[in-house]
Chain A
C-alpha cells in the first residue's frame, strides 16, 4: 500500500475505497459466474450438447411399449426362445423387474432401462480398439465395424446394457421387409447397444437446418423411439448440457435419482420417483 500511495497523486482514502470496491466486485463476479466455468474441461467441450433422458417411474405403467418400439426402430434381431433363455437375447431397452413380498401381498415394479450413456463410461475405457467412444454430444456410441467381439465392454457395463451377437441376426419372415434403412444391421460376433436413436437426432437436425433454425427442445422432447411410443409420456429426451431444457429442470427435481450413482459413472439417464414403496 505504501508504494501505491507514493506513486499516486490521489489521496489514500480514494485508493483504499476503489481497492475494496474492485475486490467486492471481483468476489461477486466469481459467485455469479456459472459454476461450469470452473470445470477443468477445455472450452470447446463446455459448450457441448449433452443428450440425456428422464424416465418418470411414477408415470410408467410398465406396459413395455418402449421395449417393442426400440426393437422395431433399431433392427434388433430376434434371438429366439432357446437363446433368450440362455441370456443371449438382445434388448437395447429392457425392463428390470423388482418384486417385493409374496402373493397376495405382492408388489412389482418394472423399470425400463436403456443404456445409461455414462459420462464416465466403463465400457469405453476397456475397449481395446476404440470401437466404442463418447461422441461429441455425449452419446456412448459404438461403430460395430471396428468391434472385434472381445466382450470386455459387456462385462464392464454395470447396467448390462451391451449385447453380443452370438448368432447371425435373424428376423421372422414377415419382419424382413420392415427393417429400418437408417440403422445398419449388425453381423454375428460384434457388440451392439442403444444409440439414443442417433439417426433420429440427425434427421431432426437436418430438418431444423433446412427450415433455417436451431434444434429446439420441442423437436427432441419425445424423439427416441421409446419416448415416442410411451403412452404415459414417462420418457423425455433433451439436452442436459443446457440448464434451461426440460430434462435439466427435471433432473434437478428432488425426485431425481440415477442408477448405481455411487459407482461414479455419471449416467445421463435420470429416473424420477417419489419414494420407495414401503416407506
Chain B
C-alpha cells in the first residue's frame, strides 16, 4: 500500500521535472535562419558606420534594416568568394528586398526608442547589442533579452530619467 504511493510520488516528481525542463527549453528563443550570412565584422572593417545601413538609428524609434539598394553601392560587382555574396545581386536583379528577419524585438506593449538612447543619451550600441564589430555570423537570436523592465528602470533611475509607466508602455 505505502510502496505504490511512494512510487507514484516519485513518478509525479519526475514528470514535473521533465515538464519544467521541457518548458525551459521550449520558451528559450529559437535561432532563426537569415537569408544571407551577413558578416558584420568584415563590413565594419570597411570605412562604413552603423548608420549607413541602420539608417534611422539616430533620429528614429526603429533602427531599421538596410534595403538591398544599400548593399549594391559595393556589391554591384563580386566581392570576395563567399557563396552567399552573389545572392545579393540575385535579389537585386529580381527587384526583391532581402527578407531579413528582425530578431531584436520587445514585447508588444513596450515602447523603446533608439533616438532617445543613441542620440540623446549618447549610448554605444555595444551596451545593449554586444560588440557587433566582432560579430562574424548573422544575428539569429535576440540580443536584448537582458533588457528586462528592472534593467531599463535601474538605468533610468541612475541617470535621472523619468520612470513613468506610460513612458515605456503603450
Partner-B contacts on A (CB < 8 A): 133, 135-136, 139, 141, 143-145, 182-185, 195, 198-199, 202, 206, 209-210
Contact = CB atoms under 8 A, between A and B. Distances in A.
B108 A133 contact: no
Interface of B: 59, 107-109, 111, 113, 115, 120, 162, 164-166, 169-170
A184 B170 contact: yes
Nearest to A135: B166
A183 B13 CA distance: 43
A44 to B, nearest CB: 11
B127 to A, nearest CB: 21
Nearest to A199: B170
- 4 closest residue pairs by CB, A with B: A184-B109, A135-B166, A136-B164, A143-B169
Given A184-B108, A185-B108, A210-B59, A141 B166 contact: yes
B113 to A, nearest CB: 7
Given A184-B170, A199-B170, A210-B59, A145 B164 contact: no
Given A206-B113, A206-B115, A210-B59, A139 B108 contact: no
Contacts of B108: 184-185
Contacts of A199: 111, 170
A113 to B, nearest CB: 22
Contacts of A210: 59, 115
Contacts of B107: 145
B166 A144 contact: no
A184 B169 CA distance: 9
Contacts of A139: 166
Given A135-B165, A135-B166, A210-B59, A144 B109 contact: yes
Nearest to A144: B109
A139 B113 CA distance: 21
Contacts of A183: 170
Contacts of B166: 135-136, 139, 141, 143, 195, 198
B164 A135 contact: yes
